[in-house]
Amino acid sequence: MLFTPSAGLLDAVVLSVVSLEETYGYKITQDVQNVIPVSESTLYPVLRRLLKDGLLETRDEAVSGRNRRYYKITSNGMIRLDEYRREWIDTRKIIDSTLMGGSHDQ
């Protein structure tokens, strides 16, 4: 990938993935990797930060004798995700216009 994703973009993608369903860390990693190349060692600090900021919440469940932590988006997380989505639309318009040779007064 030529373009390195920013922390904000990674946060937005993680929130978007978790907004679809309550899910666990490994699956989040796999789903995010379908969009952005990211390692588990990069993703888990993102999850911890989103938890600390009150954008995600967790519950633990025993699965096959092991503890699995499930993540769920909070109402504040949905608000932030909506902000990210609006910002993405605006940013994409400017970038598309610039890269495709138009003006960004659209």
State mean pLDDT over 41-66.
94
90 φ, ψ (degrees, to nearest 5): -65, -45
pLDDT, mean of residues 30-35: 93
CA distance 41 to 10: 13
CA dist 30 and 37 (Å) reads: 10
Residue 15 has pLDDT above 80, yes or no: yes
- Mean pLDDT over 63-82 rounds to 96
Amino acid at 12: A
Predicted local confidence at residue 90, as pLDDT: 92
**pTM of the shown model:** 0.85
